[in-house]
Amino acid sequence: MRQSTKYIVLILLWLNAMFAYGIVVKSYTGIPTPTAETFKDSLDWADYYFNIHRFEDAVPLYKKNLEDSDKEQKIHVLKKLALSEAAMDHPEESISYIYDYFKIDFHPTFLLHEDFDGIRKEQGFVKLSGTVLPKFTVWSIFYFFVSLIGFYITFVLLINKRIDKQARILIGSFVFIHSLFILNICVNQTNYVFEFPHTYLMSTWSSFLYGPLLFLYFKRVSKSTDLNKKDLWHFLPTLILTIYLIVTVYGFSGSQKVIQMLQRLEEGLNPGDSTKLLLLVVLKAISLGVYAFFVHLILTRNKNGLSKKTRIWQKNIYLIHVSYVVVYIVYGVYITAGVNSGVFYHAPIVLMSTMVLYVGYAANVQPDVFSGLYSYTNRLFPKYVKSGLTDSLSQELKNNLKHLFQKEKLYRNNDINLDMVAEKLDTTRHNTSQLINEHFNMSFREFVNSHRIQEAKELLEQENELNIIDIAYEVGYNNKVSFNKAFKKDTQLTPSEYLYRAKQG
Q: What is the 3-state secondary structure (H, E, C) of 128-171?
A: HHHHHCCCCCHHHHHHHHHHHHHHHHHHHHHHCCCCCHHHHHHH
Hey, CA dihedral for 325, 326, 331, 337, is it positive or negative?
positive
- How many whole angstroms separate alpha carbon 403 and alpha carbon 405? 6
Question: Residues with Cβ < 8 Å from 451, sequence gap 6 or more?
Answer: 405, 406, 409, 411
Q: Name the burial class of residue 29, with classes exposed (0-12), middle (13-18) and buried (19+) by CB atoms within 10 angstroms of its CB.
A: exposed
Hey, CA dihedral for 490, 493, 495, 498, is it positive or negative?
negative
- Cβ atoms of 370 and 167 within 8 Å: the answer is yes
Task: Provide the CA 452 distance to its chain's centre, in angstroms.
Answer: 53
Q: Looking at mean pLDDT, say which of 200-214, 266-280, 297-311, 463-477 comes out highest.
A: 200-214
Where does the chain hold its CATH 1.20.1070 domain(s)?
138-371
- Cβ atoms of 167 and 226 within 8 Å: the answer is no
* CATH number of the 138-371 domain: 1.20.1070
Q: Would the pLDDT of 466 be above 80?
A: no
Question: Residues with Cβ < 8 Å from 268, sequence gap 6 or more?
Answer: 338
pLDDT in tens, 401-418: 888 898 889 899 888 998
Specify the pLDDT at position 196: 93
Where does the chain hold its CATH 1.10.10.60 domain(s)?
391-504
pLDDT in tens, 44-71: 888 889 999 999 989 998 888 887 668 8
CA torsion, points 369, 374, 376, 379, in degrees to nearest 10?
A: -40
**Beta-carbon count within 10 A of 247 CB:** 10
pLDDT in tens, 353-382: 888 888 887 776 666 656 554 343 334 333
- How many whole angstroms separate alpha carbon 480 and alpha carbon 140? 69
- How many whole angstroms separate alpha carbon 465 and alpha carbon 486? 22
DSSP, collapsed to helix, strand or coil, labels residue 26 as: strand
Specify the pLDDT at position 45: 87
What is the share, in percent, of the chain residues with pLDDT greater than 70? Answer: 81
Mean pLDDT for the chain? 81
Specify the pLDDT at position 225: 63
Q: What is the mean pLDDT of residues 156-182?
A: 86
Specify the pLDDT at position 367: 62
For residue 141, name the pLDDT band (cuts at 50, 70, 90).
very high
CATH class for the domain made up of 391-504: mainly alpha
**Which CA distances in Å does 81 have to 55, 72, 101, 262, 363?**
9, 14, 10, 19, 58
Specify the pLDDT at position 338: 63
CATH class for the domain made up of 2-132: mainly alpha
Where does the chain hold its CATH 1.25.40 domain(s)?
2-132
DSSP, collapsed to helix, strand or coil, labels residue 32 as: strand
- How many whole angstroms separate alpha carbon 289 and alpha carbon 287? 6
CA angle at 172 for the pair 201 and 272, rounded to the nearest 5° = 10
Specify the pLDDT at position 212: 94
Lowest mean pLDDT among 5-9, 31-35, 111-115, 366-370: 31-35
Beta bridge partners of 26: 32
- How many whole angstroms separate alpha carbon 210 and alpha carbon 292? 10
- How many whole angstroms separate alpha carbon 193 and alpha carbon 68? 32
- How many whole angstroms separate alpha carbon 280 and alpha carbon 275? 9
For residue 94, name the pLDDT band (cuts at 50, 70, 90).
very high
CA torsion, points 433, 436, 442, 447, in degrees to nearest 10?
A: -100
Pick the residue with more confidence: 409 or 388? 409
Specify the pLDDT at position 304: 58
Q: Would the pLDDT of 490 be above 80?
A: yes
